[in-house]
Amino acid sequence: LISIGVIAVLSAGVVALNGQGPAQGSRDARRQADLENVASAMELYRNDLSTYPPCSPVGTGCQANAAGIPALTAAYIATFPADPIAARRYMYRPFDSGGGTCSELAADRCVTYGLCTALEKTTAAVAGAPACATAGCGLTCSYRITNP
């Protein structure tokens, strides 16, 4: 009877330690898929207009949502995805050829971008990530998509 009690206590401890792991992993997979969907919409936009969409207002970066990137209309993305944890954000930052801010003007096209988010299981910051440095995507921006 005592050994069954000890096994039950140890089992409860193992279950408690592993309880959040699968949920964190599935949320992280969703975040990565969400950013891939936004990146696909960015490529469709670039194919049509020869530039990536600027942030609104034009500046250093914005949230990857309808208010932050209004140029990505329903023609490119039906609905912007949202992070599974409401307090976190997907962030977007476009760059001109000099690595600065850009617009849709021919003289100041957005030629590359960074999409960022904070993963739960991978918490190390993305190295060399100016798009993520002050993005506000969560605790630490640990996942980034760039192009090219």
> How many CB atoms within 10 Å of residue 129?
17
Q: Measured on CA atoms in the order 129, 133, 137, 139, is the torsion positive or negative?
A: positive
Place of tokens 């140890």: 10
Q: What is the pTM of this model?
A: 0.79
Write out the two tokens for 126. Answer: 């993305």
Query: CA–CA separation, 115 vs 96, rounded Å?
Result: 15
Render each residue's pLDDT in the chain as its tens digit; 148 residues.
787 777 877 776 665 555 567 889 999 999 999 999 999 999 999 999 999 999 888 777 888 999 999 999 888 999 999 999 988 889 898 888 888 888 777 788 989 888 988 888 887 777 655 556 455 555 578 888 988 7
